[in-house]
Structures are given as structure tokens and as C-alpha cells.
Amino acid sequence: MAADKPSSKGQAWFCATGLPSDIIIEVDDMTFHLHKFPLISKSRKIDRLIEEQGKKSSTVTVTKQKQRVTGNEIEEEEETEEYQDQQDDEEEDRYQISLQDFPGGSDAFETAAKFCYGVKIDLSSSTVVPLRCAAEFLEMTDEYSEDNLISKTERFLSQSVFKSLKASIKALKSCESVMTLAESLGIVERLIDSIALRASSTDPTLFGWPVNDGIVEAKGASAQALWNGIETGLRRKALARTSNVESWFEDLALLSLPLFKRLISTLKRRDLSPEVIESCLMCYAKKYIPGTSRSNRKPSSSLAAAISESEQRELLETIISNLPLEKTHSSSSTATRLLFGLLRTANILNASESSKAALEKKIGFQLEQATLDDLLIPSYSYLNETLYDVDCIERILGYFLDGLEERNAAGIEAENEGNNDNIINSSRLPALMLVGKLIDGYLSEIASDANLKPEKFYNLAISLPDQARNFDDGLYRAVDVYLKAHPWIPESEREKICGVLDCQKLTLEACTHAAQNERLPLRAVVQVLFFEQLQLRHAIAGTLLAAETAPMNAGRLSGTRRDDDEEEEEQQDEEEERVAMSRGEQGSTTWRAAVRENQVLRLDMDSMRTRVHQLERECSTMKKVIQKIEKGNPRGSGWRGSLNKRLGCKFKTQVCDSHESTVTETRRRRHHHHQE
């Protein structure tokens, strides 16, 4: 039966067919004025309800007819009562049905009514599940009527929804309003299995975390995929991939927590890659948990503002418990920053200790990806006197070192088995050095805290092995800041704090600063001066040795050039390999620093040579003055005798005499050499 398009007027819905409606159906707060024949042709439930109501109305009609016969015997009945009875008869001809707890509400019933009238309906992934449940409630089966609504919605689910990842997620979201009936029909389970299947078979590069980094890389690649200002196919593919990544995770984050937990459990049972699971959890946490980012304290979803503290705690513990413990290949600084945000939120919400420990261990396995700002976790407990939670960072560092030992053991086993897997060994040392630099910066930041005990500072400073630092300049800066902020600590504690420094690893600038630093204890200053002089002595000795061996090497090369060609080539090859290795390990920055240190060393040597000449001239002048004084006081009763009596010491001029003679002889030899 074809019909005109229905229209909705306020809270009442009318079907404009030109015929008066004979049935009124109430769904929620909407009243539908319809016709019974189109409805009973498709819905068995409405047919049964009309039949039941028809039996009741026939009984009521017989009773009223008897009352009318009795009333006709009374001639004094008023006309108003007859008119009212006629109105009652017209209302009784209409059927009134109230459908309580209708699945999908008035929108789903409106779509089902249109289907009964033969109006074309448009199905989508967001509306097909409520409509399928509505069809089940109205019993619109193929046994009752051919090509009914149940079969139509099932075909759409099989042909469109289950074959698309995004459509399955949207359909799963729509199940929340009809969860009981959708669960009994098995729709929820089928949608979750479809999402897990599609996620495992999709290109894994789409799930690389973080999502924003992947989007930036895709946009960067698309920007480069231009040739003479013409958009190429690579650019279009990159933009399509970017929109796909964005929409997939945005749709996933719209699920309620119970559905999301079931989905994650199914993904883990199917042994999906940890990168996909971690990406899903991180996106969901970023949308609903506040405080995951320092720049944006508010959650990205407006629905999260209505979530109570207990619900946020439950959500946070659920996400932490499902996070893969091992370090994923797609871990980056953005993912690590989000983990630190979750840890700060866990401290604020008083999450369970097991959740905090699991999160700290997860962070420890990728600590080299963190920044100094991530480590500055405020101390939320009244038991901690310090401004920042130093104990938490110490535990995270312990997890990092434990993971480093496990990777070291795995690398040794791989080498013993004969596998040429040098990736683990080569990546172990840079990670340790990055963490060493990070901890030195953290120590410098927390050193100004007046409540930081020397034991905590000392324990955190010595927790790293010696290989973590090429130079101790960063650690020296932290020690200097701590001593400046804690001038009241005793000398023994100062010496203990300075004991974390390795003076042999201090650069020339740090040694110069330490030698003039009044805050350092005397023993530390003496050690710095000793190693500084030792470095200068080695540098001068190396320079002199190179100057002496240069002519000898030149003579040998001129006499035996042909015999040493092969050795020279080997030495050059070794030198090139050594330079390449040094560049690979330290980079161009370390190379420039070494050149700069050599220049500074040469300037220091020149200044020392100038100072020696000045001392020679001063010594010569002092000798002349002493000789004049001795000539004016031949008896020895001059200034020397008075000083001997007052100070009880004797001055000897032999050092100056011998030194002067040595200098004079040296100058004479130089002058004689120049004349020759």
C-alpha cells in the first residue's frame, strides 16, 4: 500500500493519506495516528494487540446497548446524553495502543511505521541496530509477511556493517540504547568479533602510536608529494590515510566503558599486536581522563565532565590494567608523556598501588623517551616533604635499569647462540646515556628544594652506572646548586655529596669553575686541581712528544717510503674507521667540542709560558734588590737579621740564584743558537 509522506506535528505524528486514522499508538511521549491495516500486514504483535482490544471493545459495546434499551423505556432522557453517547461510540471505533519500553524509542517506531506504509527507508550503521530490535519487538518476521523488516536489517548488517571497521564501531555504539535486546539477539557479540577481525587484518601502519605523530608525518609526506605544484597520487593517498586514522580512533573513543572493556578483552584474546591495543587505550584515556596533558587540563570530551571521581578511578585502573607491559616498537615521546599524565592523575585520584606500580614499570621500560618536564611529578602526599615526588622517579629509574639488564642478558644469549644481532647492544648504550643526561637535569631541578635530604640526593645521583655519563658537568651543576641551596649541612655531608663526582670526567671549563668554587669542601677542590694539572701535564707531554717524533718520522718516511706504503694504508684505514666510529657514537657535536677544547688548551699553554717569563723577570729583579741590600749592610744586621729574629726563619737565595743562572744560561744558548 503506497502512501504519502507522513508528517510530524509537535508531539503527534499523522499519516497524510486522506483517510481518517483508526488507530492511535503511544510510544514514549509521541502519539502516532495511523491506520490499522498497513500495520497488521507487517507486524504480528500489533495485529494481536488490536485483536485483543477488539474483543474488549465488543463486550463494552453489548453492555452499552443494553443500557440504551433500558434508557429508551424512560421517555425523559435528555438530548445531551444521546450526543455524548454518539461521541463515545466514535472514540470506541478507534484503537488505542501504548507500547511501553519500546526499543529505539519513537524514532525507531517511526521508521518501522514508514516501512509498513511502503515508504522507502534509509539504513545506516547508527540506526540499523535499534531498527533491528524494534522489528524484533513488533514481530516483523518473514513467516508473517514476505521480505519483512527483520530480514531487511539483517541483510544490511551482513553486507555493509560487518564488512567495515568504522561501521561496526558506530553500530556497536548504537547498541547502548537497546543493550538488553541487542545482547539477547547476539548483535553485540557479532559486532565485537567483527571489529577484532577487521582490526587484525587491517594495515598495521594505520595504528602506529601516537596518532597525532602519524597524522603529522602523513601531512608532511603529502606536502612533499607535489611536483611543479601539481597534486600527485601519493599526496591523495597520504591525506586519505590521515582521515582514516583520525576517524577510526574518534569513533572508538565514543564507546561506553563496559563495551570498551569487552572490546579490549576480545582484542587481547585474539593476540592482536600490543601497538594497536596501546593506541586504543591511550586515545580513550585522552578523551575521558583529565590531566593527561600539562597544556590541557580538561578532557577532550564534554561527557567526561559529568563523570564522578569514582568512575574516573575505575576507568583509569581499567586502562592501566590492560596496557601492554612490554615496550612497543611505536613508543615515542608523546606516548611516554601521556603515561606520565596518567601517573599524575592516578596520584590525584588515589588509584590502587598495583595500578601505580604497573604504570611506573611501563614508564621505566621507555624512560629514554621522556623529557625533563615529564619527570617533574608533584608530590601529592602529605607524607612527602619535598616539592616533587623523588621516590617515584627513583622507582622508575630502578625499573629502567632492570629492563636494561634483561636486554643485556638477552643480547649476550643471542651472541652465544651465534646470531649477529647487534641491534640490542648498539641501542643499549645510547638509551643509558640519554637517561643519564635526563637524571642530571632532574637533579639540578630538585636540588634547590630546601626539604630535599642529602641521602635522597646522594642515592639518586649514584643510582646510575659509570657508563651513563661521558662527562660529569651536568652532575657537577646539580651538586653546586644543592650546596648553594643547603648551606647549613655539615662538612661531612658536603664531602659525601661531592663524592658522587668523578673529577676525571670534568671538562676544563667545569674544572676551572670548581677550582674557584667556595662552596665545595677543601678535599674536593684539591682533587679537582690535581686532575686539572694532570690533564694539562698529559696534554703538554703529548704535544712535546708529537713535536719530537715528527722529524724522526719524516726521516724514516723519506728513507723507507716504499716499505711502509702498505702499513700507512692500513693505518689510514684504521684511522678512518676510528673516526667513523667516533662520529657515529658521539656525533658532530662531540667532534666540535674536542676541537674547541684543544684550542682552549693551546691558549692555556701560551698563558703558562707567559707567566713563567714573568716569574723569571720578577725573580731576577728580586735578586738585584737583595744584592743591593746586602752590599749596604755587610755585617748582616739589616732586614735579614731582623726578620730572622722576629719570624724565626731563614731566607735562602740559592733557589733564586740557581733559577736565575739557569734562565740566564738558557737565554744565552738561545741567543747563541740564533746567531749561528
Which residues, listed in sequence order, are joined to residue 14 by a DSSP beta bridge? 7, 33
E strand residue ranges, 501-591: none
C-alpha cell at 323: 596496557
- Model pLDDT for residues 166-212, shown as the tens digit of each residue: 999 999 999 999 999 999 999 999 999 999 888 877 644 444 444 44
Per-residue pLDDT at 645: 46
Per-residue pLDDT at 73: 45
- Is residue 436 scored above 90 in pLDDT? yes
Structural domains in the chain plus CATH codes: 9-64+93-160 (3.30.710.10)
- DSSP for 101-128 reads T-TTHHHHHHHHHHHHTT------TTTH
Average pLDDT over residues 513-533: 84
Per-residue pLDDT at 36: 87
Average pLDDT over residues 613-641: 67
User: What does the DSSP 8-state code read for residue 328?
Assistant: P
- Model pLDDT for residues 534-575, shown as the tens digit of each residue: 777 777 776 767 666 655 555 454 555 445 555 555 555 555
pTM for this one? 0.67
CB atoms inside a 10 Å sphere around CB 269: 9
What separation in angstroms does the CA of 357 have from each of 103, 363, 371, 392, 579?
Answer: 44, 10, 20, 10, 44
Lowest-pLDDT choice from 215-229, 424-438, 515-529, 611-625: 215-229
Lowest-pLDDT choice from 109-123, 227-241, 299-313, 401-415: 227-241
CA-nearest of 474, 476, 465 to 429 is 465
- Model pLDDT for residues 141-164, shown as the tens digit of each residue: 999 989 999 999 999 999 999 999
Per-residue pLDDT at 151: 95
| Contact (Cβ atoms closer than 8 angstroms) between residue 387 and residue 449 | yes
Count Cα atoms within 13 angstroms, Cβ side, for 293. 14
CA-nearest of 151, 153, 157 to 131 is 153
Per-residue pLDDT at 353: 93
Amino acid at 12: A
Per-residue pLDDT at 69: 43
What is the three-class DSSP state of 7?
Answer: strand
Per-residue pLDDT at 664: 42
Per-residue pLDDT at 48: 92
- Is residue 415 scored above 80 in pLDDT? no
- Is residue 250 scored above 90 in pLDDT? no
- Model pLDDT for residues 633-666, shown as the tens digit of each residue: 555 444 445 444 444 444 444 333 434 444 444 4
pLDDT band at 103 (very low <50, low <70, confident <90, very high): very high
CA atoms of 359 and 367, how far apart (whole Å): 12
- Model pLDDT for residues 14-67, shown as the tens digit of each residue: 776 667 788 889 998 888 888 889 899 999 999 999 888 776 555 444 444 444
Per-residue pLDDT at 550: 56
pLDDT band at 301 (very low <50, low <70, confident <90, very high): low
Query: Across the chain, what does the average pLDDT equal?
Result: 75
- Model pLDDT for residues 76-99, shown as the tens digit of each residue: 444 444 445 444 444 455 678 889
- C-alpha 83: how far from chain center: 78
In terms of phi and psi (left: phi > 0; alpha: psi -120 to 50; beta: otherwise), the region of 479 is: alpha
- Is residue 277 scored above 70 in pLDDT? yes
